[in-house]
Amino acid sequence: MQEIFKTIENIAIKISDALKYADLGYTDHKNQTGDTQLKLDVLSDEIITAEFKDVKSVKSLISEEKTDEELLNEDGEYIVAYDPLDGSSLVDVNFAVGSIFGIYKKSLSAKNLVASVYTIYGPRLEMVVCKDSPKLYRLKRDGEFGFVRELKLQEKGKLNATGATQKGWSDTHRKLVNTLFERGYRLRYSGAMVSDLHQVLLKGGGLFSYPATSDAPKGKLRVSFEVLPFAFIYEKAGGATSDGFSNSLFDIEIKELHQTTPCFFGSVDEIETLHQIYGKKS
Ligand code: P6P
């Protein structure tokens, strides 16, 4: 798996450079989930595909920007599912955005997720690599990534990252969000999942929520290459996750490559509050 992590380091440097000067325009294509693709989305996907082409341990690629799975090596052990440039619509306002990678062993199922990585293109180029525990790395002047620290979530945090259009929230969700604000939580939400989850993780905790809404009853965020990679990191950091009612986002069954789910990621205390308000599947 080290070969995959090293490949992602090279990808991060190439996409980070591309972001600085590339064309921010839109293509005239939509991806499988109906998002109009930015030229940067396609460029990032091309960079990732080219970098993984010669990695023999990778069997196939699944991408937010590809309709179908792309087979690379029949005998490869791992499937890499990724969002090449999450939050890309915010590059034009110079917000931090990132790439998300889920590494699945043999087949695409929640229980087969064995590692996840995300990169974040901000004032500094950083990446979080998680196998046994989430570790933060930062690009140094010498062009190499250096280990910074291991990431842990506190039992309870202070940040409330509230996704989706409020008009579409259920009364139950509105109650959850307001309960945290009444406890003094601070709103921290940019609209780029990687940045928002990175902030909650590094600032010690809180809750990130992207719920079912009236316009997106199955949520918006994609299971294989957005939700499960972050759920893996949050749970390995000592936090908890849920779809609103489940014990964990890992209870989900992946039926389609671009499947979405409502999702909640947070410190243990905030997920407990979620269950008290939403109820919990027995
Ligand atoms: P909303 C970005 O487009 C994205 O896929 C995630 O990065 C982000 O969390 C979400 O959509 C934002 O969606 O509906 O809150 O603007």
Token digits of residue 172: 């139950």
Domains 2-150 and 159-278 share a fold: no
Counting from 1 in the atom list of ligand 1, the atom nearest the Cα of 89 is: 3
Establish whether residue 58 lines the binding site of ligand 1, counting it when its CB lies within 6 angstroms of any ligand atom: no
Domain extents for the chain? 2-150, 159-278
pLDDT digits (tens, 9 = 90+) for 178-193: 999 999 999 999 999 9
Q: Which residue lies with its CA nearest to atom 1 of ligand 1?
A: 164
Ligand 1 mean position to 238 CA, how many Å? 24
179's enclosing H/E stretch is: helix 171-182
Architecture of domain 159-278: 3-Layer(aba) Sandwich (3.40)
Establish whether residue 97 lines the binding site of ligand 1, counting it when its CB lies within 6 angstroms of any ligand atom: no
Q: Which residue lies with its CA nearest to atom 14 of ligand 1?
A: 164
Distance CA(115)–CA(92), nearest Å, equals 31
Whole-number Cα distances in Å, 60 to 54, 73, 85, 120, 131: 11, 7, 19, 24, 20
Strands 113-121 and 78-86: unpaired
Report pTM.
0.96
**Of the candidates 54, 50, 59, 56, the residue with the CA atom closest to the CA atom of residue 84:** 50
Whole-number Cα distances in Å, 168 to 218, 274, 280: 12, 18, 22
Strand ranges for 106-192 from DSSP E: 113-121, 125-130, 134-139, 145-150, 159-162, 186-187
Residues 231 and 190: beta-carbon distance below 8 Å: no
- In tens digits, the chain (282 residues) has pLDDT values of 999 999 999 999 999 999 998 877 887 888 888 888 888 999 999 999 999 999 999 999 999 999 999 999 999 999 999 999 999 999 999 999 999 999 999 999 999 999 999 999 999 999 999 999 999 999 999 999 999 999 999 999 999 999 999 999 999 999 999 999 999 999 999 999 999 999 999 998 999 999 999 999 999 999 999 999 999 999 999 999 999 999 999 999 999 999 999 999 999 999 999 999 999 766
**Percent residues over pLDDT 90 in the chain:** 91
Supply the CATH classification number for the domain 2-150.
3.30.540.10
3-class secondary-structure state, position 260? strand
Of 89, 220, 263, the one to substitute when testing ligand 1's pocket (max ligand atoms within 8 A of C-beta) is: 220
Q: Residue 257 has what DSSP assignment?
A: T
Ligand 1 mean position to 218 CA, how many Å? 14
Q: Which residue lies with its CA nearest to atom 6 of ligand 1?
A: 193
Establish whether residue 163 lines the binding site of ligand 1, counting it when its CB lies within 6 angstroms of any ligand atom: yes
